[in-house]
Amino acid sequence: MDPLDILSNLHCVTPHFQPIFSADEHRIIGYEILGRFQNQSECLSLGPFFQDEEIPDEYRLEVDNIVLQKAIEHMISKGQQDKVLFINRDAKILTESNGEELIELFKSYVDKGLQLNKIVIEISESHFTNELERLVHLLLYYKTFGIKIAIDNMGEKIGQWNQFSTFSPDIFKVDLKHLKKEVGNQAYNDILFSLSILARKLGASLLFENIELDYQLHFAWKNGGRFYQGYYLHKPSPSLQDPNILKEKLKSKCQSFIQIEKKNLQSVYQFAERIQQELQEMVPKLKKQNEDLNAFLRQLGNRLSYMCFRLYICDENGFQKSHNLFKQNGEWIDQPKYLGKNWSWRSYFLENIIEMQNEQRGILSDSYSDIETGGTIRTFSFPLGNQDYLFIDISHDYLYEQDGFLL
């Protein structure tokens, strides 16, 4: 589409509204405003126009503001000015104009019912490169009016994440189009888990977008998504929707996700209980037979060979007191080089030690990627007494055979 056709026919520029649904209320809480160009035969996305940096900024900004004004006026006319308004903005254009023009545009509608605390400005993570300090100051300025900030395209890279703490974004948007090609990729899941931790630390909410299939909705729910958006739920439309349009459907989906998750958690709990009971019966007998820790590990490994591939023993401070017993090509081998290494730097290590001391029972970890093998594993930690702790790394193959254990 020729940019000149757009600029000479601004009356054909129009907003479309893509609903955003909440996980807690199962209803529409707001809309992302998307630009469209309506000619006689079709309705075309203005995305390529806004992203074309060869078009002068002032022209792109003019079209952007027309879309925004028409969207605000339509929402006010329909009595839906209480809905959250998600607005995409180019960070470069914002910083060059100091953002005042956008604030003045918003203020002009306040008397008509527009609420500034219902506005969310979306900035792409990829824009956090040049003029970062100016951009951060501008975003902090917007927040003084109650305007919220969303960071788009999260999860694609992590290089800029440390910058977000300087202004505390309100929402992280995660694009699930990558999930199709990353299904089963533990690294991708780990990045999203790290993102969820960052969001919680900063007090931000997660919004999962481009949800096109049921399993993506389940994924968003399972990974802490507070808001959902995508064609599976509702396509962009020139009209506003009944806020409760999917309330019953989403409530039913949520109930099914809950049942699946409870079933998986119950299975994992029962699995941990079986290991606990097996070790409670096995360990005292084997310890009596073997004063040497490495000999004890080998006998234990022979009995647990069906599920684990690595065993070792540490003291309460994380110093390893045994060799690693490692399964290679179906055979157990000793790895003495690990004797004396310290593992207290690992996440949750000392926390788990204290919990085992207090509860006097084992702990099954979440699934995670093993540094050496690259496979997804879980670790069962078990108190041996005398401030010694046994660590059993459960193999990917065994977990794969157990429904839900890799999740």
| Distance (Å, whole) CA 16 – CA 135 | 27
Q: Which of 134, 61, 159, 53 minimizes the C-alpha distance to 102?
A: 61
Q: Which residues contact 379 (CB under 8 A, 6 or more apart)?
A: 364, 365, 391, 392, 393, 394
Q: Which of 88, 75, 87, 109 minimizes the C-alpha distance to 243?
A: 75
Name the phi and psi angles at 387, rounded to 5. Answer: 60, 25
Span 337-363, average pLDDT = 95
Q: What is the pLDDT of residue 209?
A: 95
| 261-401 and 3-233 share a CATH fold | no
**Number of residues that make up the chain:** 407
292 residue type, one letter? D
| Distance (Å, whole) CA 353 – CA 315 | 9
Q: Which of 180, 223, 188 minimizes the C-alpha distance to 205?
A: 223
Q: What is the mean pLDDT of the chain?
A: 90
Q: What is the pLDDT of residue 124?
A: 77
Query: Integer distance in angstroms from the first to the last C-alpha of the chain?
Result: 45
| Distance (Å, whole) CA 321 – CA 324 | 10
- The β-bridge partners of 363 are 381
Domains of the chain, by residue range, sit at 3-233, 261-401
The per-residue pLDDT for range 309-333, each reduced to its tens digit, is 999 999 999 999 999 999 999 999 9
The per-residue pLDDT for range 7-62, each reduced to its tens digit, is 999 999 999 999 999 999 999 999 999 999 998 888 999 999 998 889 998 999 99
- Structure tokens, 254: 């949520």
Name the phi and psi angles at 128, rounded to 5. Answer: -85, 60
- CATH fold of 3-233 reads TIM Barrel (3.20.20)
| Distance (Å, whole) CA 32 – CA 84 | 8
Which segment of 169-183, 242-256, 339-353, 354-368 scores lowest on mean pLDDT?
A: 169-183
| Distance (Å, whole) CA 198 – CA 154 | 11
Q: What is the pLDDT of residue 163?
A: 65
- The β-bridge partners of 378 are 394
Does the pLDDT value for residue 359 go beyond 90?
yes
The per-residue pLDDT for range 86-111, each reduced to its tens digit, is 999 988 888 877 778 899 999 999 99
Contact call for residues 15 and 32 (beta carbons, < 8 A):
no
Burial of 12 (0-12, 13-18, 19+ CB in 10 A): middle
Of residues 164 and 170, the one with the higher pLDDT is: 170
pTM of the model: 0.86
* 44: number of Cβ within 10 Å: 17
Of residues 210 and 126, the one with the higher pLDDT is: 210
Does the pLDDT value for residue 266 go beyond 60?
yes
Q: Is 40 left (phi over 0), alpha (psi -120 to 50) or beta?
A: alpha
Pairing of strands 43-45, 28-38: antiparallel
Span 278-287, average pLDDT = 94
Is the domain defined by 261-401 classed in CATH 3.30.1280.10? no
